[in-house]
Structure 1
Amino acid sequence: MTIDTTANPHLVVIYGATGSQGGSLVRSLIRNPNFRVRAITRNPSSQSAQQLSQLGVDVVQADGWKKEQITAACQGAWAAFVNTNSEDPIWHNGSGVTEFDLGRTIIDGIIAAGSVRHLVYSSAASTSAYSKGRVRAQAAEMKSQIERYALDSQGFETVCPIHPGFYMELFTIKELAPLFGGFPFMPDAEGFLTLRTPQWGADGPMPVPWVAIREDFGDIVHGVLLDPHRYHATAVPVVSDPRSYPEVTEIFQSVTGQKARYECLNSCEEFGKGIPEMEDLRRLFQFGQLTNAKYFGDADPSAALSAELKARAVEARGGGAADQQLLSFPKWVAGNLMPAI
């Protein structure tokens, strides 16, 4: 693998560039001439990787399990963004390897490159710590451990843990609709598109920290990279528009004109019952009930910081005032869930 390692203080390497988070960051950074982007992928010939190449992105091959490949891919980079895939089947196939093992290898490989000064890691609050050991969501724990490893390594000037909220995009995946009671694709026997989840919060429905990954995530991380020292060791919640589940159904009905309603499940265990892959989501709902929705731990769950970061990034890449606004849930529904005519 041959990589141009010409010194450039604004070269950002992205691990997970073909995913939803990494792709959003790529699309934001390439519009700012002060940054160059290098995308790491295991398969440079994939369609998604080729699309990045067509955008002018430097696409390189590297396997996250091979430290020396990560080191080679990060040569000359100024900053790195890393998102490890918590949904990879390998964590559940009995191999014994964990997401932390992968994250540690990637972090070690980046440090060994010797040039990367700033790391932004897509992380999560420790469910075990904030629930005093009463609940453990595996993905959140692994990400929290990787975050701590990166901070303790002292291999970077700054480490910023980014905590993405709940993806609005979940509602565009038809295969997931049955898990949510059929919402927003499958009407029930009474003709309603019913959203059915456990309660989020302790005493009543609390706002869920929704984020529009495609439209907002990349700009928010871009905003962090404009001033990384300001966010060292500081959890940055990534939120577009916090709304409770009842509000989501009301917005959907108002925007689309389709009949919708919300039903609260009596127990977290009823959500995706019998599906092992849903265990982490059941534990997240349990965590939300035990902590009264402290999804980001002690960090502010509002969209205030995300709004500030997005505005700064859009301004830096030459966007206007209208583009600086976070995407609201009503506008997201209008752009993504309107029924076909």
Structure 2
Amino acid sequence: MASPKVVVVFGATGRQGGSVARALVKDGQFTVRAITRHGDSEKAKELEKEGCDVVVADLDDKPSVVEAMRGAYGVFLVTNYWEDMDEEREFIEGKNAVDAAIECGIEHLVYSGLEDAKELCGYSVPCFDGKGRVEEYIRSCGLPYTIVRLSFYMGNVFNYFVPKKQEDGSFHLEIPMEGHPLYMVCVREVGPIIVCIFGDPGEYAGRTLGLSSEQLTVDEMAQQMTECLGVEVNNGNVPLSEFCKLNIPGIDVYCAMFKYFQSDLYKRDIELTRKLNPEWSTFREWLARNKEALLAAMNQ
């Protein structure tokens, strides 16, 4: 009996890569080679216990990436703009991985990309555009590929978008969408979709898939939070122009991103997403699972 094919998973200690690595192990069709820069980290040790082969490599170091891919069938690649907020570095890291995949004869590359917003709408969205450049490079190389594009993470309401407590005890959800609906995903559930893609390359190779479990306005999000959390949450109705005045790291990038989120050019395919993973959580289901932790974050 032939040994299971090897899939190399980059970003394996992060949310996306970790979800993919665990889903592939659970599925059992593939052996998972989990890539990290820090093989002695607790997250890396957890992956090892769960059945992954943990390998140390760095996307800034192409020779280490080539060694990590040798003998593998497929690669799941995710690049991280937010690590140092450098679009050019993100592109170079992605290019290093693609070049290594070609050198190693990888039969299927799945890249977690995003569209080149500058090309589409004429203004730069750095956290998108570097990934968009990697996408174009992948398409130009003749390497068998599938590109997946995620949308706004539900978990973002734990950080910059945690509802803010008001003097009357209610909360304001301040996401600057100005009435436009927002595509959303639970990023920790992307793994089963990637399993489907690797399991059926004939169906998904050469395609770019925009993923979202649902699309809600901030009013709808606030209403569901009120119902699920048992506290009053209202839309803070923050205009994008006011949001852009906040003194937080990366605010210019966030402003460009939400401008793009509001445009008609930003599209995701909810029907296809549900086909690939019928169990991907709605916002209401995600809230129910994370109720206590979210309430704690809101009341800090």
Tell me the TM-score normalized by structure 1.
0.81
Out of 256, 264, 284, the position equivalent to 1:330 is 284
Map residues 113-124 of structure 1 onto 2, 5 A cutoff.
Answer: 113-114=104-105, 116-124=106-114
Q: Which position in structure 2 is the counterpart of 1:305?
A: 272
Alignment of 1:125 with 2:115, yes or no, is yes
Matches within 5 A, 1:104-183: 104-114=95-105, 116-131=106-121, 133=122, 135-154=123-142, 156=143, 158-173=144-159, 176=160, 180=161, 182-183=162-163
| In structure 2, C-alpha distance between the alignment counterparts of 1:337 and 1:247, rounded to whole Å | 17
User: SS of the counterpart of 2:237?
Assistant: strand
Cα deviations across residues 225-261 of structure 1 (Å, max 9, x unaligned)?
A: 1212322332212212221111110000011110110
**Do the aligned partners of residues 217 and 268 (structure 1) sit closer, same or farther apart at CA in structure 2, a change above 3 Å counting?**
farther
- Deviation, structure 1 residue 272: 5.8
Q: Residue 64 of structure 1 contacts residue 70 of structure 1 at CA under 8 Å; is this kept in 2?
A: yes
Give the whole-Å Cα distance in 2 for the aligned partners of 1:239 and 1:307. 8
Q: Hey, what's the Cα distance between the residues in 2 that align with 1:302 and 1:281?
A: 23
Structure 1 residue corresponding to 2:172, chosen from 189, 194, 198: 194
CA shift for structure 1 position 160: 1.0
Match of 2:180 among 189, 203, 206: 206
Instruction: Spell out the pairing of 1:17-28 with structure 2 (5 A cutoff).
Output: 17-28=12-23
Pairs within 5 Å for 1:1-341: 8=3, 10-89=5-84, 91=86, 97-114=88-105, 116-131=106-121, 133=122, 135-154=123-142, 156=143, 158-173=144-159, 176=160, 180=161, 182-183=162-163, 186-199=164-177, 205-214=179-188, 216-268=189-241, 270-271=243-244, 273-289=246-262, 291-292=263-264, 294-296=265-267, 301-310=268-277, 324-338=278-292, 339=295
TM-score by length of 2: 0.91
CA distance in 1, matches of 2:98, 2:151: 23
**Distance (whole Å) between structure 1 residues aligned to residue 3 and residue 241 of structure 2:** 49
Once residues 172 and 90 of structure 1 are traced to their aligned partners in structure 2, the CA distance between those partners, rounded to angstroms, is 20
Stretch of structure 1 that moved more, 190-199 or 55-64: 190-199
Deviation at residue 65 of structure 1 after TM alignment: 1.2
Deviations 1:185-242 (A, max 9, x none): x412232210112225xxxx2321110111x211111111121232233221221222
Structure 2: 5+ residue runs without aligned partners? none
Report if the CA contact (8 A) 1:16-1:83 is conserved.
yes
Aligned to 2:169, the other structure's residue is in SS state coil
Structure-1 separation of matches of 2:282 and 2:261: 23
After alignment, is 227-236 or 99-108 more displaced? Answer: 227-236
The number of residue pairs the alignment matches comes to 293
Aligned to 1:316: none
Structure 2 CA distance for partners of 1:9 and 1:164, relative to 1, 3 Å: same
Change (3 A) 1:172 1:270: closer
